[in-house]
Amino acid sequence: MQRYIVLLLTLVAHASVAHAQFDPTKVMREAQSVAQRFPDPAVHFSTPGFRPGREDFTSHADVLAFLEALSQESPRVRIEILGLSQGGLSMPMVLLTDSGKINSRLPTVLIIGQQHGNEPAGGEAALVLAQQLANPQAGLLRRVNVLIIPRGNPDGAESFKRTTANGIDVNRDHLLLNTPESRMIALAVHRYRPQLMLDLHEFTVGGRWVEKFGGLMKYDALVQAATVGNLRSADRHPRAGPLCATYLRKPCEPWVDVLFIPHHWRH
Ligand SMILES: [Zn+2]
């Protein structure tokens, strides 16, 4: 699982695409000597944002049409609409299971993309992952139930903005629940009680790093195990740290090393 995420995030991050709301003039251009070290990878995906000739990121209408088609094609796929965003866009969740329904004897993984609307890599990778898991040859669903919310902030994704329509950062709203978007995610968590959640983001390699240090961040991947600072230490699972190290960090490391991706374990 983790290897898919790391791989896909990386591939998407290097994709050359544009969006109707995306302002290419604000993108920092790498020097040729740097850019040539990051050629497009020799892999191809058929989700809307990766189709040949495509110049935009996947639109909301594309997401809905793609997921509807996927659910028609595969009995492993079920789509649940969690509700509506502030702007009236539906927020779909993809349920991927081996039998077509949640197997209560298996662990459940929840993957959330694009809570920050201007970080499209996670949303695009989520669609690719859904498509791959819908394939009956993918054996992973015999071991886990997978839930995917491709876009945790549909309005932000559509307008290529970080926040939700009322300016609240949904990724900072999981305690107060002041947005319908965070409440929909909470609803999914309470309904399906996932044992593992993967939250997909992008991070800047320039911007503040250039301002602060006069250079670029060297890492292409940051992986952060959950920290739950709002809980008293007595309420935390005493093995949470070691479990993350054993089952998240260690399986990821060989893959990012093989791909020669500079990485850092964020904390
Ligand atoms: Zn983010």
Distance 201 CA to ligand 1 centre (A): 4
From the first residue on, what is the mean pLDDT of each consecutive set of 10 residues in the chain (267 residues)? 39 41 69 80 89 88 98 98 98 97 96 96 96 94 97 96 96 95 96 91 80 80 64 58 75 74 67
Please report how the helices 2-13 and 120-134 are oriented relative to each other, as an axis angle in degrees rounded to 10: 130
Distance 161 CA to ligand 1 centre (A): 11
Contact assessment for residue 144 and residue 107, using Cβ atoms and an 8 Å cutoff: yes
Cα dihedral 70, 12, 144, 236 sign: negative
> What are the beta bridge partners of residue 100?
none
Distance 90 CA to ligand 1 centre (A): 21
> What are the beta bridge partners of residue 95?
78, 147
Which residues in 68-107 belong to E strands, given as ranges?
Answer: 77-84, 90-96
Calpha distance 120→149 (Å, rounded): 13
Of residues 150, 130, 126, the one with CA closest to residue 141: 130
Distance 250 CA to ligand 1 centre (A): 24
Distance 181 CA to ligand 1 centre (A): 15
CATH number of 2-202: 3.40.630.10
Distance 129 CA to ligand 1 centre (A): 19
Distance 116 CA to ligand 1 centre (A): 5
Instruction: Indicate the SS3 state at residue 13.
Output: helix
The domain ranges of the chain are 2-202
CA–CA distances in Å: residue 49 to residues 41, 128, 219: 16, 10, 25
Q: Look up the pTM and report it.
A: 0.81
Distance 144 CA to ligand 1 centre (A): 26
* Strand (E) or helix (H) holding 256: helix 250-258
Of residues 133, 103, 113, 110, the one with CA closest to residue 194: 110
